[in-house]
Amino acid sequence: PPAEPLTERRQEGGVRTIVLNNPRRRNALSLPMLQSLRRDLLHDVKSRELRVIVIGAEGPVFCSGHDLKELSSEDDVKHHSQVFELCAEVMTLIQKLPVPVIAKVNGLATAAGCQLVASCDIAVASEKSQFATPGVNIGLFCSTPAVALGRSLPRKVALEMLFTGEPLSAHEALMHGLISKVVPEDKLDEETMKISQKICESSKSVLALGKATFYRQITQDLDTAYKITTKVMVDNLTLRDGQEGIEAFVQKRKPVWSH
C-alpha cells in the first residue's frame, strides 16, 4: 500500500490544521518531514479564508526532533547542512507567516520538536506533555533549538535544559513562558479551537501587520521599538479594516472586515 503522508493538512472555518503524521518514527523532523511541513504551512497562505494555523501530531510523541539516522557519518556534510538549514528556514517561516500559528502539544516534544513549539506564536499543551533538549546526552548539543528556546525562556532556565537534557513538565513550561496554556488532555482540542475561533473574529490584515511588527520590534532597544511601532500604529489607521473597526466601535455595531 502507498505510504501515508508525513503531514496531513485540513482546513475548516478559517482554521488550518497540520498534523505531523509519522508516529512510528516519533514524528521526527527528517528532511522529507520538514519539506512536507513547509509545503503545508505555505499552501495558499495569502488566501483570505486562512486565518490561523494549528500544528498537532499523531501518537504519544509530539515531535522527537531530528531523525538521528540522517545525521550519521554515512551521510556527508552537505546533507547534514541541508537538514539544519531547512529546519531553520521552517522555524523562521512560522514567525514570518501572516497568520498566527498555534502548537497543539499532547505528549513529548524534544530537541528540534521543542524548538518547533518555542517557534510558534502560541502553544497549548495537555497536562501530560513534556519538553526537553536532550542532545547533550548523545553528544549533539541542541544549538539550533537553543535559538528559539533562548528567546522564549529565561536564560538560566534555557541553559539548564540545554546543559542537563532534563525535561520540563507542562506546568513548568507554562510557568517559564515556553507555552501559553495547560489543559487536561480531553480539553486540548476544545481549548485550541476556542483560541483559533477567537482569532478568526479579527481582521486578517490587522493581525498580519501586528504579528510582523511584534517580531520586528522585540529584538530592538526601547527607543527603536517605539519608533517602529509608532509608525505602524499610523499605518494601521490607513488600513480599510483599521477605519472599519473604529467606525464600528463608535457606532456600537459589529465590524465587517474586508481582510
CATH 1.10.12.10 positions along the chain are 202-251
The class of domain 202-251 in CATH terms is mainly alpha
At residue 70, the pLDDT reads 87
CATH 3.90.226.10 positions along the chain are 7-200
Assigned fold of 7-200: 2-enoyl-CoA Hydratase; Chain A, domain 1 (3.90.226)
Tens digits of residue pLDDT in 210-250: 999 999 999 999 999 999 999 999 999 999 999 999 999 99
Residues of the chain with pLDDT under 70: 1-2, 74-75
At residue 4, the pLDDT reads 84
Tens digits of residue pLDDT in 70-100: 888 766 888 899 999 999 999 999 999 999 9
CA distance 197 to 51: 9
